[in-house]
Amino acid sequence: MTVERIQLLGLNHDELLGFVLNDLNESKFRAKQIREWLNRGASIDEMTNLSAALRAKLNAIAVANPVRILESYRSKIDETEKFLYALTDGNLIEGVVMRYHHGDTLCVSTQVGCRMGCAFCASTLEGRVRNLTPGEILGQVAAANRHIHDQDPERRVHNIVLMGSGEPLDNYDNVVKFLHLVNDPEGFNISLRNVSLSTCGLVPRMYDFAKEGLPVTLSLSLHAPNDEVRRKIMPVANAYPYGEVIAACRNYVEKTGRRVIFEYALIKDVNCDVKQAEELARRLRGLQCHVNLIPLNDVKERNLRAPSRQDVDAFLKRLTLKNISATVRREMGADIEGACGQLRRKVLDLN
């Protein structure tokens, strides 16, 4: 039987200190050295200021980063880079880094697969395999950060979006721990104002999350102007009605002072005629929010397609006329299966 190794990246300050003092019988100073290596995305073997004996001892019981970049694909169009990561148990997850003027944004996964069952999403097709640990969520940041830094020392992960595979609020405790870890000044020191969490709308967890007092931007995957349409494409709408989801968003705005972002994937013949834009505008009236329109990334397994460019523009125009702040999301990495879950599936299909 293999014993689970400790994921050093998943330990906060006190936990790492306790581990070094009690499990390794080493001094406090070693914790500081190990932390510096972890921040650089190093493996235990690379921690060259630790003795060979200590590294061997560490290797037997721990892993520095449980996430390894297995393959990367760089877009020729816009420098977007997609990663296929391997976890220590052989599971695969994926992520993507997008290069913007204001810095690099990394899209991070929170689960292997997903159990939310949205009709248009590739991540959910085989259900949820398991939750990611805090060390595995942070491990994606560490691995990607090292990778882009090696390409260009000026580059580092500046923004994080929890929009990869999985439903972050369905892995609540690990995601909250990850947020504290990534924000730690001794660690990656990424401001939580630069982090967005995207959820399909697990209402009770949205209220819990508002109470955490973290300045994270909430993105809500709405994708419909009412329950009738939403239930057709998002099973979660059967559990939490539209009005309750919007009320939970309103509460988040009140508690955090931050506007909510609504994600709205435009799907041909489903949710994108102008009447539906008007209905959406009515439902969102008075809420501090922004609507991100995303022409659907076709998923070949499902018969759902993006609308025409004219239909996208007409939808946007109608929302804007009704005083709803909205934009169409720029498509990035179109040549590298940029959309969530698509790459992992392609690789799984091959095997």
Which residues are catalytically annotated?
A: 94, 340
Q: Write down the residue that tokens 């790492």 correspond to.
A: 16
User: Which of the residues 96 through 135 are near ligand SAH (CB under 6 A)?
Assistant: 116, 118, 120-121
Angle among Cα 272, 276, 277 to the nearest 5 degrees reads 85
Q: How many Cβ atoms are within 10 Å of 108's Cβ, its own excluded?
A: 29
Question: Which stretch, 24-32, 92-100, 205-213, 296-304, contacts ligand SAH (CB under 6 A)?
Answer: 296-304
**Which residue do the tokens 């019988």 mark?**
25
Instruction: Give the nearest distance from C-beta 264 to ligand SAH in angstroms.
Output: 8
Least Cβ distance, residue 294 to ligand SAH (angstroms): 5
Q: Which stretch binds ligand SAH (CB under 6 A): 10-18, 132-140, 238-246, 289-297?
A: 289-297
CA atoms within 13 A on the CB side of 280: 34
Q: Does 229 bind ligand SAH (CB under 6 A)?
A: no
By the rule CB under 6 A, 195 interacts with ligand SAH:
no
Mention every residue, 6+ apart, whose C-beta is less than 8 A from residue 180. 12
Judged by CB, which is closer to ligand SAH: 146, or 230? 230
| Burial status of residue 152 (CB atoms within 10 A of its CB: 0-12, 13-18, 19 or more) | exposed
Should residue 271 be labelled a site residue for ligand SAH when binding is judged by CB under 6 A? no
State which residue, 159 or 199, has the beta carbon closest to ligand SAH: 199
Q: What is the rounded CA–CA span in Å between residue 273 and residue 252?
A: 29
Pick one of 16, 93, 296, 343: the residue that binds ligand SAH (CB under 6 A).
296
Q: Which of these, 253, 270, 274, 254, lies nearest to 262 by C-alpha position? A: 253
Determine if 221 is a binding residue for ligand SAH (CB under 6 A): yes
CA-to-CA separations, 17 to 23, 32, 134, 184, 258, in angstroms, rounded? 10, 9, 17, 15, 35
178 vs 197: CA distance, rounded Å: 12
**Which is nearest to 276 in space by CA: 235, 322, 345?**
322
41 or 164: CB nearest ligand SAH: 164
Query: Could you say which of 200, 202, 246, 343 contacts ligand SAH (CB under 6 A)?
Result: 200
Euclidean distance between CA atoms 305 and 146, whole angstroms? 36
For position 167 contacting ligand SAH by CB under 6 A, the verdict is yes
Binder of ligand SAH out of 105, 131, 183, 199 (CB under 6 A):
199
User: Is position 265 an interface residue for ligand SAH (rule: CB under 6 A)?
Assistant: yes
Q: Which of 339, 343, 344, 345 binds ligand SAH (CB under 6 A)?
A: 339
Contact between 301 and 338 (Cβ < 8 Å): no
Q: How far is the CB of 259 from ligand SAH (least distance, A)?
A: 16
Assess 297 for contact with ligand SAH (CB under 6 A): yes
Q: Per CB under 6 A, does 206 bind ligand SAH?
A: no
Footprint of ligand SAH (CB under 6 A): 116, 118, 120-121, 163, 167, 198-200, 221, 263, 265, 294, 296-297, 299, 339-340
